[in-house]
Structure 1
Amino acid sequence: MLLSSRGAMMRFSRPLAGSLGATHFRLRIQCLGRLPGLYASVNRDPATEEIVQPFLYHKGFHALQSHRVTHRLWNDGRRALVRLIQSRASEIFAIDIHPAAQLGCGLLMDHGTGVVIGETSIVGDDVTIFQGVTLGGTGKQSGDRHPKVGAEVLLCANATVLGNIQIGRGSKIGAGSVVLENVPAWSTYVGVAARAVVRPIE
């Protein structure tokens, strides 16, 4: 019998980000198959009634699995093939994830249309991303220029996070917000430019 409880999912997934206030992010080597992504849909998407639904029908899940393949090929140096696969995947799913972006386990990309994740982005485990989210650069930097998103973060619809900044673990970014500075763990930021409406208890 397939387990779909939060506890069951946690057996397969650990937070990517370190403790509160951590300045470095560690990426796990692999995601133990595709179970964390399926459990993420069951546990965090009320519209998902069965674990088979994301596997068969959810383009956010499909786009993430396409990225897992292209990321591996990118690291193996097969850049031409990667660009072909990534280009086709972005056309089919309307989701654009750079093959070099580092994504953790247990991600839920709900709806997914219009999501853009840049080359040097890092996204932690158990993050929820809604449609229209952009993890991008400011256009003024080169090299490491994209956001670092901690574990268990919620990025609501059309949120835009720009630059080499950190979004702390467990934080929430409101719909339509534009984030240009670091966000502490367990905070809620909304607005343009985003400001804190909930701060962590010291």
Structure 2
Amino acid sequence: MDNPVIIFGAGGLGKAALEIFQQNEVVIYCFLDDDDRKHGQEIGEVSIMGNTDDHGYTKFIGKKCDAFVALEERELRKGVFKMLNERRKVMPVNAVHPKASISGNAYISYGLFANAGVTVGSFAKVGIGCMLHSNVTIDFEAELGNHVEVGAGSIIHSGAKIADDVFIGAGATIAGPLEVGKGARIGAGSVVVENVKAGATVFGNPAKEI
């Protein structure tokens, strides 16, 4: 990655992304954040310059800068992905911690956040804008759709298929080649042993719909 990066979002996820890029020796141009109170402040000597739709900064993306979206609210993240794609004709870069392990045979899309200890196995697939927190395991041939968030320490077993917009809490296990439908939510620490329908919220060991 040769270009400096603009990070959208100056919250906790933005700070984590900054650390990842710095450990990978990538220059961060600035943060953009819609909280005006943060403007002019610095995080690790990187300035928070303006709003996420500030054309004075976004105009450089795709020419002189790349972008990474570190907004924690899914719909806001998806909105920035759409803006970058439609207006700037680019997709966000990936932030992959140097202590993450991603198979060379895995398929990784755009805008991935993969923190320390993440493992993505052989021939696994990870869609657009996924967030894999510390020590997540995506085993071989598992598939994640777009904008899936997987909490720290969770395990997605081989062959599992996770649809778009799914949230999986910290320490959860998808225990087998199961299917989790679009927009489903898996509670922290849950053990999923059967398919989860779209939009459902499940919790427990074994996980049951609530």
Structure 2 SS opposite 1:189: strand
Alignment partners' CA distance in 1, 2:175 and 2:124: 15
Within the alignment, does 1:71 sit opposite 2:72 as a pair? Answer: no
Question: If the length of structure 1 is used for normalisation, what is the TM-score?
Answer: 0.53
Deviation at 1:152, TM superposition (A): 0.2
Out of 167, 175, 178, the residue aligned to residue 165 of structure 1 is 178
Unaligned runs of 5+ in 1: 9-33, 46-50, 52-59, 74-89, 137-144, 198-202
The structure having more radius of gyration, on CA atoms, is 2
Q: Distance in 2 between matches of 1:148 and 1:135?
A: 9
Q: Hey, what does 1:191 align to over in structure 2?
A: 204
Runs of 4+ off more than 2 Å: 1-5, 63-73
Task: Mark the CA change 1:63 to 1:148 in structure 2 (over 3 Å): closer, same or farther.
Answer: farther
Report how many aligned residue pairs link the two structures: 128
Aligned to 2:151: 130
Q: Is residue 2:116 matched to residue 1:103?
A: no
TM-score w.r.t. structure 2 length? 0.51
Q: Post-superposition shift, 1:66?
A: 6.7
Pick from 133, 137, 140 the counterpart of residue 116 of structure 1.
137
Contact kept, 8 Å, 1:146 with 1:162, in 2: the verdict is: no
CA apart distance, 1:129: 1.1
Cα deviation, residue 175, structure 1: 0.3
Aligned to 1:190, what secondary structure does the other structure show? strand
Unaligned runs of 5+ in 2: 1-5, 10-32, 34-51, 53-65, 75-79, 81-93, 109-113
Higher strand share: 2
Specify the alignment match of 1:44 in structure 2.
73
Q: Which structure is richer in relative contact order (CA contacts within 8 A, separation 6 or more)? A: 1
CA shift in 2, pair 1:183/1:172, >3 Å: same
More helix by share: 1
Structure 2 distance, partners of 1:3, 1:115, is 23
Aligned residues: CA RMSD: 3.7
Report how far residue 123 of structure 1 moved: 0.1
Instruction: Tell me how far 1:113 sits from its aligned partner.
Output: 2.2
Identical-residue share of aligned pairs (%): 24
